[in-house]
Each structure stands twice: as structure tokens, then as C-alpha cells.
Amino acid sequence: MSTPNNKPWTGRFTAPTDAFVEAFTASVGFDYRLAHHDIMGSIAHARMLTRAGVLTTAEFAAIEGGLTEIQAEIERGEFPWETRLEDVHMNIEARLTERIGVAGKKLHTGRSRNDQVATDVRLWLRDEIDAITHELTRLQVALLAVAEREADTIMPGFTHLQVAQPVTFGHHLLAWFEMLQRDRGRLSDCRSRLNVLPLGAAALAGTSYPIDRAYVAELLGFASVAENSLDAVSDRDFAIEFTACAALLMTHLSRFSEELVLWSSPAFDFVDLTDAFCTGSSIMPQKKNPDVPELVRGKTGRVNGHLVALLTLMKAQPLAYNKDNQEDKEPLFDTVDTVRGSLRVYADMVAVLRVKSDHLREAARQGFATATDLADYLVRRGIPFRDAHEAVGRAVRLGVETRRDLAELSLTELQTFSPVIGEDVYAVLTLEGSVAARDHFGGTAPRQVRAAIARARARLGNP
């Protein structure tokens, strides 16, 4: 009996697949992206089967040669991807058989697409995490360079987006560095948890061939072998975990974006995002819009969405593999592209960020940013903190009413709020005095910022 419509699995079928179902169930339109790692996995599998005596050396040579040629064909963009063949795995296997004949039909011995796809995605994601980490490093290095340049630059620090206390711009940038450093740690944890070989689990129960899984793990650089075959083919925790890391990373970039959007607006005018990272308006000639930060802030939404999609994809799946899992690819691919692209553009943009230090200083000077320093001064002269707070509050009220900052009030005026105030008060009311006084580990004093930058470079392994 002839089999309908020429697929690798049609033996038990009597009727061809409905044309729309064929297109609906196919994944090759997106999973072709796994081709390189699929081929790596196949060569390792075939090498192991040869060592185990399941394939002959000649068969292995034909398989390896054929797959290498297919890899080149894919790179040249000449590979004839066919929807009829469903996914990347069956496309490559069918092409191999077309090229090398019967040896190609032996490649799938002792393996299933279930453990194959789980292996491919892990191999692929491992490389992508390395590439993402590289972009992350570039961004962190750029941040440290600007932080070093602006270690003495004074800006208003905010809480509730109201001027709170003066901080140094370098210190503010180091806060961003810390967020990214935690993202780096999370990505590295995720990488080590996914670096486990599923291959050998076959469809779900393992295989009766004398396979050597440790050898395959070694060939593919996996740190260990999955313990349980059912778990190996059905686990997508690594994809969810990665997407969670990515969502948090994007959340950081999004907060970062929010600040850059505010700071580059004429109302703040703290920084200039160079022209290469902005666009104009088709109607308003004066506009220079911070498109890059805005887009990154916007793209955070899709990554958060992918996290929810993947969690929802898994939540009701019984063991072991289910076709549902084919739906993990597009969210994962898009997450990788979004994070990688966002980090790349941010690294380039931060490297050329122009900081308007005079405007930053002026903004810090205007918002009574040294009010806490005045209260601390009174405390040092024996006034209880609550009373000091009250006295300074009244001084600020006079400043608001007469449109002057604390440093612009005369000594006689200041003394009406507390008789202990002396001429030396003006030293604490200066911005430089305020930041220099916060001179402890993790503080904003320029000296501390420089020390923190040196530690940050060491933590990055001095790239």
C-alpha cells in the first residue's frame, strides 16, 4: 500500500493531511532558526551511535558530510524549506536522505523529535544568553565610563519625582549598573540550569539502543545529563526562567528609558541623546524625539506578555511531551531578539550620552535639596531632630514665599528659625558640601563613586 502525501510518518495513515491542517501544524516557518543547533545535535548523536556500534564509520562519515553540506546550503539561503515536512528537524533529515541515501534514514535511530527539539532549544538559548551577556557588558562598561566622567557632577536626587537631596550623576548611573549586574547574575544562573542534556530521553521513555548520554553531553558541552526521561522531553522551565530574567532586565531598561525621556525633555534638559538616537516630527519642526528609549520602554510590554504566554502554555500540560510545546518558540525567539536589540542600542546610546552638568547643578540648587543638611547641622548643635526638622521647614517656607534657596537667605534671617545657626552654616548649604558629606560605602560622595567604579570594573573582570 502506498503512503499518502510523502511524509516521514505516513505509514499508519490512509488519507492525506488536510491542506490547511498541514500549514496550521507546521513550525518550520519559525523553527528553521534552530537549524544550526539541530545539525550540531545530530552530528553528536550520530557520532555516539557510531561509537556504540549502531552506525558504521562509513555511515557516520556520510551523515556528517551531508549535514555539513546542508549547513552550508542553509547559510547560502538555498535550502528548500518545505511546509509539508512540518518542522526544521524533518526538513533537515529528509534533505540528508535525499543527498546521502539510506544512511540518512538511520540518523533518527534511538532518538525522537521530542528529545531532539528539547536539545536544540537549549543549545540555541545557551548561545543567545552568551550573546546577550556580551551586550549587557558593553552597556555596563559604557555606564562606568560616563559615571567616571561625571563623578563630581551634582544633580537633584528625587523621591516622588520631587527634589530630595543632591546626588552625583555618577552615583545615579551606578544605580543602573547595579540593576544590570543582578540581571547578569540571573542570566548566568539560568544558563547553568539549562545546560543539561535531554537527548537520550527519546520520545519519553528512553531507548533500547546502547546509547552513551554522557558522551553526547561532553560533545555538546552540556555540564550534565537530564536525570529523568519524562522530565527531559517535557520541561520548558528553562524557557520560562529565561523569559522571566528577560522581563526583569527589560523592566530595568524601561525605568532607565523613563528617566532618559524625562531628562531629555526641555522641561528638565539634563541630557542630550545625540541625533543618531532620536527622530524628528513630520509636523512640528522643533521636535527631537527620544524614540529609542520610548521604544525600549514599549517593547518591555511584549516581553512581559511572552512570560505570561509561556507560563500559561505549561500550566495544564500532563507529562510528557505535548504538541503545545511547539508554541514555546515564537515567544522565546521574540524575547531574545527584543532583549538583545534593546541592550545593543542602549550600549551604543549611553556611550555617546551628553550630560548637561550646568543644568543638573542648577536644578539641584533650586529645590531646597540641602534642607536635610541644614537639619543635620542643627542636630550637631544639640537640637533634637524633630525640632530641627520643624525649624528647617519654616525656613523653606520663607524661601518658597520669597523665591530664594536656603543658601540665599541671610544669616539674620536664618537665625530667626534657630539661634544656634552661625556663619559656618553656608558650608553645609552648598551642594558640594552636601554630597561630600555622604562619604561611606554606597554613598554619593565623589570619592565613594570613584571607589565604586573601581570595584564595578573588578566585578566585571576588568573588561
CA gap 88, 96 in Å, rounded: 12
414 closest CA partner among 383, 391, 385 = 391
Catalytic residue among 2, 160, 410, 440: 160
Please give the grid coordinates belonging to residue 433: 558640601
Whose Cβ is closer to ligand ARG: residue 89's or residue 361's? Answer: 89
Alpha-carbon 229 to chain mean position: 30
CA–CA distances in Å: residue 147 to residues 177, 251, 265, 352, 395? 10, 21, 21, 12, 34
Q: What is the smallest separation between the CB atom of 88 and ligand ARG, expressed in angstroms? A: 7
Whose Cβ is closer to ligand ARG: residue 86's or residue 135's? Answer: 86
CA gap 84, 3 in Å, rounded: 14
Q: What is the smallest separation between the CB atom of 317 and ligand ARG, expressed in angstroms? A: 12
Q: Which residues contact 129 (CB under 8 A, 6 or more apart)?
A: 187, 190, 191, 242
Any catalytic annotation for residue 224? Answer: no
Q: What is the smallest separation between the CB atom of 121 and ligand ARG, expressed in angstroms? A: 8
Q: What is the smallest separation between the CB atom of 229 and ligand ARG, expressed in angstroms? A: 14
Whose Cβ is closer to ligand ARG: residue 106's or residue 111's? Answer: 111
CA gap 100, 231 in Å, rounded: 34
Whose Cβ is closer to ligand ARG: residue 137's or residue 207's? Answer: 207
Q: What is the smallest separation between the CB atom of 353 and ligand ARG, expressed in angstroms? A: 42
Element (H, E) at 290: none
CA gap 117, 359 in Å, rounded: 55
Whose Cβ is closer to ligand ARG: residue 58's or residue 205's? Answer: 205
Whose Cβ is closer to ligand ARG: residue 323's or residue 440's? Answer: 323
Q: What is the smallest separation between the CB atom of 86 and ligand ARG, expressed in angstroms? A: 7
Catalytic residue among 2, 112, 281, 306: 281
Q: What is the smallest separation between the CB atom of 350 and ligand ARG, expressed in angstroms? A: 37
Q: Is 110 left (phi over 0), alpha (psi -120 to 50) or beta?
A: left
Element (H, E) at 166: strand 162-168
Any catalytic annotation for residue 160? Answer: yes
Which residues of the shown chain bind ligand ARG in the complex (CB under 6 A)? 27, 31, 87, 113-114, 117, 321, 323, 325-326
Q: What is the smallest separation between the CB atom of 60 and ligand ARG, expressed in angstroms? A: 24
Q: Which residues contact 200 (CB under 8 A, 6 or more apart)?
A: 110, 115, 206, 207, 211, 213, 216, 225, 226, 229, 232
Q: What would the DSSP string read from start to end of 410-460?
A: -HHHHHTT-TT--TTHHHHHSHHHHHHH--STT--SHHHHHHHHHHHHHHT
CA gap 310, 315 in Å, rounded: 9
CA gap 238, 314 in Å, rounded: 12
Please give the grid coordinates belonging to residue 108: 533518527
Whose Cβ is closer to ligand ARG: residue 27's or residue 338's? Answer: 27
Element (H, E) at 171: helix 169-194
Whose Cβ is closer to ligand ARG: residue 32's or residue 215's? Answer: 32
CA gap 139, 17 in Å, rounded: 50
Catalytic residues: 160, 281
